[in-house]
């Protein structure tokens, strides 16, 4: 039955934003609340899985019987994800990982007086966490990404699926006011090599249950 579709499986979910330090008091980040990832972790647990939730800084409480690992920046999330992925069957990347970080994080608070009226921040690329996991040749879990897009949602998501060698990607249009970042609801398109399927706007908790059933069915046939 769908209620135990992940019995005995190990699932890792990344969730929330990352924070990339500029100095001890400032950071670059995004609007991810963690709601989508936490809902997926809870749904996977309810479906019988053993779940590890790797979370950036969010203000949500941990779902029942889920192991939570808190991280702050992308490199910490990568390290935790690599470790957890060694033992898992399914890896779901719902986190909004910052693609870039400041090239240097100042040890002390940056002072306004030291800057000109115009200033710029040098950035360097962060590791791509999910691409690293999907590129594995051994101990490679069934790997599911998310794609947050504001235009050409399906097309951009499809190219991410291929570029990152994912088994499935869940695309959401984060420009709509009623879904995406921080909302309690979301609407998504699930894309894999066989095709795509749209799931209409609903609560993230109910969407998570539908997604877990779809993922469980696909992961089984891998």
Q: Verify binding: residue 93, ligand PMT, rule CB under 6 A.
A: yes
Among 63, 102, 141, 180, interactor with ligand PMT by CB under 6 A:
180
CA pair distance 167, 26, nearest whole angstrom: 36
Closest CA to 73 of 14, 138, 1, 153: 14
Write the binding mask 139 to 168 for ligand PMT: x where contact by CB under 6 A, - elsewhere: ------xxxx-----------x--------
CA pair distance 68, 211, nearest whole angstrom: 20
Among 26, 68, 181, 202, interactor with ligand PMT by CB under 6 A:
181
Among 41, 96, 187, 212, interactor with ligand PMT by CB under 6 A:
96
Distance of closest approach, residue 128 Cβ to ligand PMT, in angstroms: 4
> What is the Cβ-side half-sphere exposure of residue 12, based on CA atoms within 13 angstroms?
25
Distance of closest approach, residue 7 Cβ to ligand PMT, in angstroms: 25
Q: Which residue, 117 or 159, is less far from ligand PMT as judged by CB?
A: 159
Q: Known catalytic residue: 30?
A: yes
CA pair distance 129, 134, nearest whole angstrom: 9
To the question of whether residue 164 is assigned a binding role by annotation, the answer is yes
> What is the per-residue DSSP string for 162-218?
HHTT-SEEEEEETTSTTSSTT-SEEEEEEEETTEEEEEEEEEHHHHHHHHHHHHHHH
Q: Which residue, 48 or 127, is less far from ligand PMT as judged by CB?
A: 127
CA pair distance 44, 142, nearest whole angstrom: 14
CA pair distance 178, 24, nearest whole angstrom: 34
Distance of closest approach, residue 130 Cβ to ligand PMT, in angstroms: 4
Q: Catalytic positions, please? A: 30
Annotated binding site for CTP: 99, 109, 127-130, 146, 160, 164
Report the interface residues with ligand PMT, using CB under 6 A. Answer: 14, 16, 32-36, 74, 93-97, 99, 126, 128-130, 145-148, 160, 172, 174, 180-182
């Amino acid at each position: 039955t769908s209620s135990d579709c992940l019995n005995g499986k190990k699932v890792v979910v990344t969730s929330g934003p990352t924070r990339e330090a500029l100095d001890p008091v400032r950071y670059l980040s995004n609007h991810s609340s963690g709601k989508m990832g936490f809902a997926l972790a809870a749904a996977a647990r309810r479906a019988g899985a053993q779940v590890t939730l790797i979370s950036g800084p969010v203000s949500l409480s941990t779902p029942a019987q889920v192991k939570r690992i808190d991280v702050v920046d992308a490199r910490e999330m990568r390290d935790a994800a690599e470790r957890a992925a060694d033992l898992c069957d399914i890896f779901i990347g719902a986190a909004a990982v910052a693609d870039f970080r400041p090239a240097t994080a100042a040890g002390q608070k940056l002072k306004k007086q030291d800057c000109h009226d115009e200033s710029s921040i040098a950035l360097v690329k962060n590791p791509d966490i999910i691409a690293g996991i999907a590129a594995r040749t051994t101990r490679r879990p069934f790997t599911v990404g998310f794609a947050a897009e504001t235009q050409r949602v399906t097309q951009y998501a499809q190219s991410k699926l291929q570029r990152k060698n994912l088994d499935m990607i869940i695309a959401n249009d984060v420009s709509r006011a009623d879904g995406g970042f921080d909302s309690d609801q979301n609407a998504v398109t699930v894309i894999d090599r066989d095709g795509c399927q749209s799931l209409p706007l609903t609560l993230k908790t109910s969407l998570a249950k539908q997604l877990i059933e779809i993922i469980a069915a696909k992961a089984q046939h891998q």
